[in-house]
Structure 1
Amino acid sequence: MPQMMPLNWLMLFTFFGVMLLMFNVMNYYSPYKLPSTSTSIKTLTKSMSWKW
């Protein structure tokens, strides 16, 4: 029935929207630790020292 197609598109849109939100929340609250940023900042500033 073609009259029900907008409801199907709305259900798909809400489903994928909720999946996207859940994926982003799971990545935001993931428990892994990043390496310490102080060492990476030191090496970055060391390599960026310009000799004018």
Structure 2
Amino acid sequence: MPQMGPLLWLNLFIFFSMSFMLFFVINYFLPPFSKMSPVTSPDKPETLNWKW
């Protein structure tokens, strides 16, 4: 029935709006991930200091 077409788009718009708002609320209340900073850099091998 073509008369029901606008109701389909209205439901899709409401679903999209609610999921978009949920996405922003979750991003607002959850803190971002903290990057772990190792003491020594993993890409540089640890060199020994032979001169005392």
Q: Taking structure 2 as the reference length, what is the TM-score of the superposition?
A: 0.54
Higher percent of residues as helix: 1
Q: Identify unmatched segments of 5+ residues in structure 1.
A: none
Alignment RMSD: 2.8
Q: Which has the higher contact order (CA 8 A, sep 6+)?
A: 2
> 1:24–1:35: structure 2 CA closer, same or farther, 3 Å change rule?
closer
* Partner residue in 2 for 1:27: 26
Which of structure 1's runs of 4+ aligned residues deviate more than 3 A?
Answer: 32-37
